[in-house]
Structure 1
Amino acid sequence: MTDEPLPPDALAERLAEVYLVVGPLYRKVQRIVERDQPIMGMSVGVRAVLYQLRREGDMTVPQMARTQDLSRQFVQRMVNDAHTAGWVEIVENPAHRRSHLVRVTPAGVSAIDAVIERELRLLSRVGGDITEAEVGATLRVLTEMLNALAVTEQHGESAP
Structure 2
Amino acid sequence: MSDIDEPLSPDELGHRLTTVFDLVGPLYRRAARKVEQAEPMEGVSAGVRAVLNLLRVHGPMTVPQMGRDQAISRQFVQRMVNEAAARGWVESVPNPAHQRSSLIRLTETGRSTITQVLGREHHLMRQVGGSLTEAEVRACVRVLTEMVRTFEQGDPD
Residue 46 (structure 2) aligns with: 44
Match of 2:138 among 122, 136, 139: 136
Following superposition, the deviation at residue 140 of structure 1 comes to 0.9
The 3-state SS of whatever aligns with 1:26 is helix
| RMSD across aligned positions (CA) | 1.6
Total equivalences in the alignment? 154
Match of 1:27 among 29, 36, 54: 29
Query: Identical aligned pairs, as a percentage?
Result: 56
What runs of 5+ residues in structure 1 fail to find an aligned partner?
155-160
Kept in 2: contact 1:92–1:101 (CA 8 A): yes
- CA contact under 8 A between 1:92 and 1:100: conserved in structure 2? yes
Question: Paired residue for 2:117?
Answer: 115
Tell me how far apart the structure 2 counterparts of residues 20 and 80 of structure 1 sit (CA, whole Å): 31
1:71 aligned to which of 60, 73, 85: 73
What residue in structure 1 maps to residue 6 of structure 2?
Answer: 4
Q: Deviations over 1:102-123 (max 9, x none)?
A: 0101111001100110110111
What is the alpha-carbon distance in structure 2 between the residues aligned to residue 153 and residue 64 of structure 1?
14
Q: Measured at CA, do residues 37 and 44 of structure 1 come closer, stay the same or move farther in structure 2, by a change above 3 Å?
A: farther
How much has 1:151 moved relative to structure 2? 2.4
Moved more, 32-41 or 117-126: 32-41
Q: Which runs of 5+ in 2 are unaligned?
A: none
2:19 matches 1:17: yes
> Is the CA contact 1:49–1:79 (under 8 Å) kept in the aligned structure 2?
yes
Aligned counterpart in structure 1 of residue 96 of structure 2, from 94, 97, 104 = 94
Q: More displaced, 30-39 or 9-18? A: 30-39
The question of 1:148 aligning with 2:134 is answered no
- Relative to structure 1, the CA distance from residue 89 to residue 153 in structure 2 (aligned partners, 3 Å threshold; closer, same or farther) is closer
**What is the identity, as a one-letter code, of the residue corresponding to 2:65?**
Q
In the superposition, the TM-score normalised over structure 2's length comes to: 0.90
Matched to 1:64, the amino acid is M
Secondary structure in structure 2 of the residue aligned to 1:5? coil
Which is bigger in relative contact order (C-alpha 8 A, separation at least 6)?
A: 2
Q: TM-score, normalization: structure 1? A: 0.88
Aligned counterparts of 2:19 and 2:150: Cα–Cα separation in 1: 16
